[in-house]
Structure 1
């Protein structure tokens, strides 16, 4: 029983990033809340071991090492790093490296517990209703601000839900949403000056069936709808990752397609995701040149000047009259 309690305390007290630093490993770069390292569990050149320092979890996009462990919490990392060391030995090593005396950990557990921010996943919720678009003006404004209002018709819903427990118990919320393969709702909205992202349920990819030989892949649904805005007649099958951490699940679904175009973000995380895809399916094509100069497809779409109807164009009267001048 004592060993199990100590393990739980280590998971609450020990930062995985701090442990890696003490072991002599520093991140190659940061992308959002995720840090990317050159994997210390195997040999590689491109950083592909990802650590979410908010949730204190890790995942090696490049593959598993000798231990067969590819991701998890700080103790899972220790089991992979010191393979084939046993579980109790890993707990003791982490305790020693982080200077946490095992015999006294239970005494000051409450005082030393490290605060952790929860993942953006609404666990105790109740979906009250799902409506078609144009019912709530705030959702309409948000989708129009992203430039995908027309493309979103029939593909995005208005999701109204309530929280059943916790500090927000009883509160009701609304967001634009679409479903992933697990049946969960991926949510997007604007709250104040920032974009709100959450998931009602388990994270998974979104799969949209189409042409059985042609596949287009996107990191986010907004990028997919941006591409659809430019390619309204396209019949491709579509995979939306909903998170770069789900690239392996996407690769598994992509194996049967003879033509694959990937439209991932033009940043390090997107490069790592495409590297993983290309290693598994070498004929996959990087389509990010379509928005060269921008981070993603939606950013390019939002940067375009709004289209004006002929009668909205500036100085249209003078331009028309000029055609009659002799």
Structure 2
């Protein structure tokens, strides 16, 4: 695949997530990240999600997805293209042995039930506080500075960390499979992020469902789930209504039988949680 073609196919956000890099803050169209080539306390890398480019205010350097991979992996253009091929959402091009690396120097200080008022309030804001038992309160430090957030455990023992200002992963990036406890592998419901999973559980409170749940924790983790999905008779997708979500949906429709696209439930909204929050219903925690 040539440079220009792959630049239009692969999301810059997905590439950054594959290196365990997430925005410190974002507004939907633009995200601010820490620099790729140095440690800093104030994020200086501006990432344009619409035009698939980034600009480092500290050095004046422009990046596209190829030069990002070159910078992080210290590699050539041809090797960067090989790395990016796995994000083209073609089955034969996804390297199932590829592992997401983490450069963060962190330490988890404490894991406990969510009690901090700021975190409880954030769960209320996202309208999922009734599902508080699926998450933990994580206190951690990065480069000696202490932070705390809501933590969602993945299958490799890493934690997806979220609060009003933060979206990172501590530890190895992976999917999260939550089994129903039944032997039956009739259906798996797939979500991009854990807030959509918590939202679905909120909507279905009291329903007697026999299905498993798979949270990708990032579209870059799709390759981790491909073998697992073959075990199910029905695959129900609750993915985002964006270009990444549509690409993955189209890929899975071509690859598996009995795939259901449930994104029509929240047409006009980016994801299930955004739609549910707009409904005016609130949790009672």
TM bin (shorter chain): 0.5 to 0.7
Map of 1:245 onto structure 2: 220
Q: Secondary structure at the match of 1:242?
A: coil
Map of 1:91 onto structure 2: none
Structure (1 or 2) with the larger CA radius of gyration: 1
**1:34/1:243 Cα in 2 relative to 1: closer, same or farther (>3 Å)?**
closer
Q: Write the distance in 2 (CA, Å) between the matches of 1:308 and 1:171.
A: 33
More relative contact order in 1 or in 2 (CA 8 Å, sep 6+)?
2
Q: Write the distance in 2 (CA, Å) between the matches of 1:293 and 1:221.
A: 20
2:138 to 128, 138, 159: 159
Q: Write the distance in 2 (CA, Å) between the matches of 1:180 and 1:256.
A: 20
TM-score, length-scaled by structure 1: 0.59
2:148 to 174, 177, 181: 174
Output aligned runs, 1:279-318, within 5 Å.
Answer: 279-306=254-281
Map of 1:128 onto structure 2: 109
Map of 1:228 onto structure 2: 201
Map of 2:177 onto structure 1: 207
CA RMSD in angstroms comes to 3.0
Output aligned runs, 1:1-326, within 5 Å.
Answer: 20-21=3-4, 25=5, 27-28=7-8, 31=11, 33-34=13-14, 51=65, 54-55=68-69, 58=84, 59=86, 60-64=88-92, 123-133=104-114, 135-151=115-131, 153-163=132-142, 169-191=143-165, 196-210=166-180, 211=182, 212=184, 213-232=186-205, 233=207, 234-306=209-281
The Cα of 1:228 is off from its aligned counterpart by 1.0
**1:29/1:303 Cα in 2 relative to 1: closer, same or farther (>3 Å)?**
farther
Q: Secondary structure at the match of 1:154?
A: helix
Structure 2: 5+ residue runs without aligned partners? 16-63, 71-82
Q: Which runs of 4+ in 1 moved over 6 A?
A: 68-72
* Total equivalences in the alignment: 215
Q: Write the distance in 1 (CA, Å) between the matches of 2:168 and 2:133.
A: 21
**1:308/1:27 Cα in 2 relative to 1: closer, same or farther (>3 Å)?**
closer
Cα deviation digits, residues 219-246 of structure 1 (max 9, x gap): 1100111111111223421000011111
Q: Secondary structure at the match of 2:270?
A: coil
